[in-house]
Amino acid sequence: MIKARSSTLRTANAETPTGTIEFKCIRINLKKVSTFEPDESHIDSLIEFDLKIGEQRLKDLKAEVRQLNGTDFQSQPLEVGNTIGYNGPWNYEEFQEFCGRYYRDVIGTTGMGQTISRGERHLVERIAIQLHRSEEINLPSVALSTNPQPRRDGVR
């Protein structure tokens, strides 16, 4: 994959800051540590990633995702929580799309999608599946003038 070295996309009239999300891993079925409201009818998972904005790299960020158990993992809605570990400028809609695609690709390639679609209740808890992928995300223009800081309290 070819990536631009610049942290901005330039147009004739404006600059759009970008960052690179480096997806690393997804942890499946995290009922005991999820911050979503407890609900046995859902599969709660955690996507782990790094974020690079310009020369700054923020490591070990996370986002929770939730899917209704017993539904088609490829087509049914996926709830994506806020980013854990980063509180800078963010494009939630684009991030949600990237997380959904990443989740569906991981679940599909591992065969776990059939288990979720059948509504099986006894999924292995906390299994980690690594699939490295990079996505370039457009950030709000304030990202050019701010210094993104990682959150140390783990709060979303």
Domain presence at residue 3: no
Q: Residue 141 gets which letter from DSSP?
A: G
> How many angstroms separate the Cα of 25 from the Cα of each of 5, 115, 133, 155?
24, 19, 9, 20
Task: Flag whether 48 is in a domain.
Answer: yes
Distance (Å, whole) CA 91 – CA 21: 12
38: how many CB neighbours lie within 10 A of its CB?
9
- Whether residue 60 lies inside any domain: the answer is yes
The answer to the question of residue 4 being in a domain is no
**Which of the two residues, 150 and 48, has the higher pLDDT score?**
48
User: Which domain covers residue 133, as residue numbers?
Assistant: 16-141
* Backbone phi, psi, residue 75, to 5°: -120, -20
Q: Helices (DSSP H) in the chain: which residue ranges? A: 92-110, 112-118
pLDDT band at 32 (very low <50, low <70, confident <90, very high): low
Query: Cβ of 134: how many Cβ atoms within 10 Å?
Result: 14
Q: What is the pLDDT of residues 81-134, one digit of tens each?
A: 989 999 888 999 999 999 999 988 887 766 665 555 555 555 555 567 778 899
Q: Which of 45, 53, 56 minimizes the C-alpha distance to 21?
A: 53
Per residue in 41-85, pLDDT tens? 777 889 999 999 999 999 999 999 988 877 777 888 889 998 999
Quote the pTM value. 0.71
Does a structural domain hold residue 43? yes
pLDDT at 9: 37
Query: What is the Cα gyration radius of the chain?
Result: 16
Instruction: Give dist(CA 120, CA 139) in Å, integer.
Output: 38
- Tell whether 63 is covered by a domain: yes
Residue 1 in any domain: the answer is no
State yes or no: pLDDT of 139 exceeds 70.
yes
pLDDT of 38 strictly over 50: yes
Domains held by the chain: number = 1
